[in-house]
Chain A
Amino acid sequence: MASTQEIPLQQVDDVVIRFAGDSGDGMQLTGNQFTNTSALLGNDIATFPDYPAEIRAPIGTLSGVSGFQVRFSSDDIHTPGDQPDVLVAMNPAALKVNLADLKEGGTLIVNTGNFGARDLAKAHYDSNPLDDETLKDKYNYIAIDLNQSTLDAVADCGLTNKQALRSKNLLALGMLYYAYARPFETTEKWLEAKFANKPEVLDANLKALHAGALIAENSEFFGVKYEVGSAPLTPGKYRNMGGNAALAMGLVAGVKLAGLKLFYGSYPITPASDVLHALAGYKNYGVTTFQGEDEIAAVCSAIGASWAGTLGATGTSGPGLALKGEALGLSVMIEQPLIVVDVQRAGPSTGMPTKTEQADLNQAIFGRNGETPLPVVSCSSPGDCFEAAIEAVRIAVTYMTPVILLSDGYIGNGAEPFLVPDASSLPKIPHQFSQEGDTRQPFERDPETLARPWIKPGTPGLEHRVGGLEKEENSGNVSYDAENHERMTLLREQKVNGVAKSYAPLKIFGEDHGDVLVLGWGSTYGAIRGAVERCHADGQSISQVHLRNMWPLPLDLQDIMKKFDKVVIPELNRGQLNRIIRAEYLVDTISLPKIQGKPYGGAELFGLFQDILND
């Protein structure tokens, strides 16, 4: 039914779409395409990919459901949103897992082509949920056989049915492009590059994409066409940036600012492997990557690289950090730069590898034998991973110390528009290798930073030995002297504590005093910001401080906390920062722990803040 009437165009400012299907249905790809297209339109965006650990779980099962949520807005947004406005469910399992999250009155697009008896059984449905008449009352319910529509659309492409059906995600994408007035160019260009050598597949995908839009237009499924204007983002150059990609880029930028080269030793582990993938592509930046035989080899190779004068870095997730513990002690002992990235996931043990958590804070700060302090830096959003990585490089190189950089699966896999900084705005990271003729002893300290000199093997006349045994002050020779051991322990501690003197002052969002201070760290940043903004709209007295430097803690934190009646600490663990703050400052903080493998949502935190503000 072709419509001759103009479809009305309605302005909306904030939309959340969740694509959900089988892990073989291409939902991540579909979500990424919608994200890139929206970013180029100038929307603010935030994404949340949620996929199973199994690469291909049995088709159609609940464990195989893969989801990708994208939020795009004409406002400045901080999270991928709590409840989707639109849910695309490619099969019964996807419907079962996701329907409860869909906003009441939202749009539900269901691929009826996958609702046969066997599909229903795999999702443990006793009867067909689409027979439920209330779907039409609760939602804008769009039932469409995407399989048949795709087969029809690509009938003349010369593909088998099985091949043709692979394009059904693009048909769904085309429908949403139409509904939200998105242009096709970004996706068309991407498809052309990806399938340059498979013209019939390219043809099918392009046809499916356009067919989706035509179906949406002709069927008037959406009633209106929505328009989401561009967001009031700071003027400048933007790119869409995923967290792990930003972290890799930040490491490369950091070594460029320090005039060093980067060595990245890593062992594959979810959700950190993408950092290795990204860095392996930076060879023309002088980056060498090494896939070790295990987590220990990965960190040890990085320690060796740093000793040889290249900045060594390694990346992992929680279980891998546990394996690297002994080597981190060595790195603390020999006092050399090293970056250890931990893209955290739900633990303990193997835990839930594809689900997010912030429960490695204790491990990062304390998880080694002996008195073994080292600085810990955290990332608060996908784009922020770039700056956090540079901060980690700065501390490691300036203070001759290993640094742990904490990200997590939520920000590592998430994406947002990233304001690309101007190269000249990034401060250089000064450092010097000792030269032939230098008279400083191997463990003689800089009076300001307490850092020892960085002496590369190959430098004539400065031959010396380092190792894990306790060292005599200054000379670095092996020493079992009792008082020397205590002195060296305190010197290493003072050096790390001194890093806090180099931090930028903490930023307070809101008043610098009041009823409640929300103290957060890491990936809870966006949800806290959104919730605090809502509280401000209601005139409530609440402020936010978000930590970048987890250890040593910032020197101005204590005075800030004193000016609030209550300090609230939301985190995705059992209260690890909370315990540290209580221990360090004797402040009666309120912990808001969450351990569900899922991030906090803005509305969820808003509700929790109300309880505290009204208490």
Chain B
Amino acid sequence: MSTVTEYKKKDFVSDQEVRWCPGCGDYAILASVQQVFAGLGVAKENFAVISGIGCSSRFPYYMNTYGFHTIHGRAPAVASGVKIANPELDVWVITGDGDALSIGGNHLIHAMRRNLNIKVLLFNNRIYGLTKGQYSPTTSPGKVTGSSPYGSLDQPFNPIAVALGANASFVARTADTQPKHMKEIFAAAHAHKGFAFVEILQNCVIFNDKVFDHIVERSIRDDRQVDLRDGQPMVYGKELDKGVRFSGNSLEVCKASEASSWNASEATSADAMRICQGSELEDIPVPMGIFKAIERPVLEEDIHKQVAAATENLGEGTLESLLDSGETWNID
């Protein structure tokens, strides 16, 4: 391992030509990740960036780190093996709404449940892009796409609710048009010990353009988002004069002075569910930031503790001891 030097963003830029569509939200995410990686104090060779299939999953080719473009939906499973085999690696999974929540839904929820120390960035553009525009598991009902010419009939997943339901220990949301927020969230995900799930609202300029404009468009976003900050009241608006408070099992808008506080580090999934379940089309602002960040046992640490304990108790196994094991007898 080389000593960690000061990196600049360009140290994480690979020699491969980036081939996303001009205007794609992925460019901003890539730049943010490269900037954040440069400042984490992690040796470049220790990053492992692992993806599935889809537009977002081309990401590893553009990062000058070790990268693995795997198969559709399976990145969390591959990443689990990587992290267990070498816990020293800084493992990041790059995925999309189809990759993570449709074909790979099973792997995602089980990786969350197990709480490996890996970071998952889900680029949610609510559409299948690389296959040229079919409705995805996060597409809004009624959406006309190539595979839903009369409007999609599917009810979508809320990715945050899926992560909370699967008991991810860190759950956050950010948006591709808000680089400062993105970088804060990525750094917080990295600092979290355990599985970190980050949903990034991401614009697909070709097949689902402006899909999040009602949340992220610059002129309205201060009134349409509330940024969850650990231990802080849930206030929003350009002047931070508005607030959100709990009312029974849901939320309601209130004055900033009456806003409820949000404690992500003590939040149960049930608490966080109350915040994430509202409709983004209603008056209540859409929650962004960190929904939950709690500590619980990390799988790969426990696996290696068991290995160490067994080695301590039984001695380190050798080829000789292996061949000597079991009940044997000699024939002369």
Interface residues of chain A, those whose CB is within 8 Å of chain B, are 36, 39-40, 42, 186, 230, 233-241, 249, 252-253, 256-257, 261, 263, 265, 282-288, 290, 292-294, 296-297, 300-310, 312, 326-327, 329-330, 334, 420-423, 426, 436, 456-469, 477-478
Contact = CB atoms under 8 A, between A and B. Distances in A.
Contacts of B316: 284-286
Nearest to A297: B77
Interface of B: 1-2, 14, 16, 43-48, 50, 53, 60-61, 63-71, 74, 77-86, 88-89, 106-107, 110, 303-304, 306-307, 310-311, 313-320, 322-324, 326-332
**A-B CB proximity, top 6 nearest:** A467-B69, A304-B81, A301-B81, A285-B317, A300-B77, A457-B66
Contacts of B306: 283
A99 B310 CA distance: 48
Nearest to B87: A308
Contact of A457 (B71, B86, B315, B317): B86
B46 A300 contact: no
A253 B326 CA distance: 15
A257 B320 CA distance: 11
Contact of B61 (A252, A302, A308, A465): A465
Contacts of B71: 300, 326-327, 329-330, 468
A457 B44 contact: no
A20 B49 CA distance: 55
A466 B329 CA distance: 49
Contact of A237 (B82, B304, B307, B330): B330
A263 B89 contact: no
Contact of B60 (A39, A327, A467): A467
Contact of A463 (B65, B310, B322): B65
Nearest to A232: B331
Contact of B110 (A297, A305, A327): A297
B46 A263 contact: no
Given A284-B317, A301-B84, A460-B2, A467 B77 contact: no
A467 B50 CA distance: 9
B69 A301 contact: no
Nearest to B61: A465
A464 B69 CA distance: 11
A293 B318 CA distance: 31
A237 B46 contact: no
A304 B51 CA distance: 12
Given A284-B316, A293-B107, A301 B77 contact: yes
Nearest to B50: A304
Contact of B78 (A186, A239, A301, A423): A301
B328 A420 contact: yes
Nearest to A302: B81
A254 B88 CA distance: 25
B85 to A, nearest CB: 4
B317 to A, nearest CB: 3
Given A40-B329, A256-B319, A302-B81, 19 more contacts: A186-B327, A253-B322, A253-B323, A256-B318, A263-B81, A263-B84, A263-B85, A284-B315, A286-B311, A297-B80, A305-B82, A307-B81, A310-B86, A312-B81, A458-B86, A464-B67, A465-B63, A465-B67, A467-B68
A237 B311 CA distance: 26
A491 B45 CA distance: 29
Contacts of A329: 71
Contacts, number: 215
A285 B315 CA distance: 9
B85 A283 contact: no
Contacts of B77: 292-293, 296-297, 300-301, 304
A239 B77 CA distance: 38
B96 to A, nearest CB: 15
Contact of B45 (A238, A253, A303, A462): A462
A326 B303 CA distance: 28
A303 to B, nearest CB: 6
A240 B67 CA distance: 46
A283 B14 contact: no
A290 B1 contact: no
B45 A286 contact: no
B61 A290 contact: no
Nearest to A475: B15
B1 A458 contact: yes
A477 B16 contact: yes
A367 to B, nearest CB: 16
Given A239-B326, A283-B306, A304-B78, A309 B60 contact: no
Nearest to A420: B323
B89 A458 contact: yes
A500 to B, nearest CB: 27
A445 B162 CA distance: 44
Contacts of A40: 327, 329
Contacts of B330: 235-238
> Max chain B CB contacts within 10 Å: which of A241, A312, A329, A468?
A468
A305 B87 CA distance: 11
Contact of B331 (A42, A300, A310, A459): A42
A307 B322 contact: no
A300 B84 contact: no
6 contacts: A233-B331, A290-B84, A293-B110, A297-B74, A308-B81, A330-B70
Contacts of B310: 283-284
A85 B287 CA distance: 76
A421 B65 CA distance: 44
A63 B316 CA distance: 45
Contacts of A465: 14, 16, 60-61, 63, 66-69
Contacts of A421: 323
Given A240-B327, A256-B319, A288-B307, A466 B69 contact: yes
B53 to A, nearest CB: 8
B306 to A, nearest CB: 6
Contact of A478 (B43, B61, B107, B315): B61
A230 B329 CA distance: 12
B185 to A, nearest CB: 24
B313 to A, nearest CB: 7
A284 B313 contact: yes
B317 A458 contact: no
Contacts of B47: 457
A310 B60 CA distance: 22
Contacts of A238: 328-331
Contacts of B332: 235
Contacts of B110: 292-293, 297
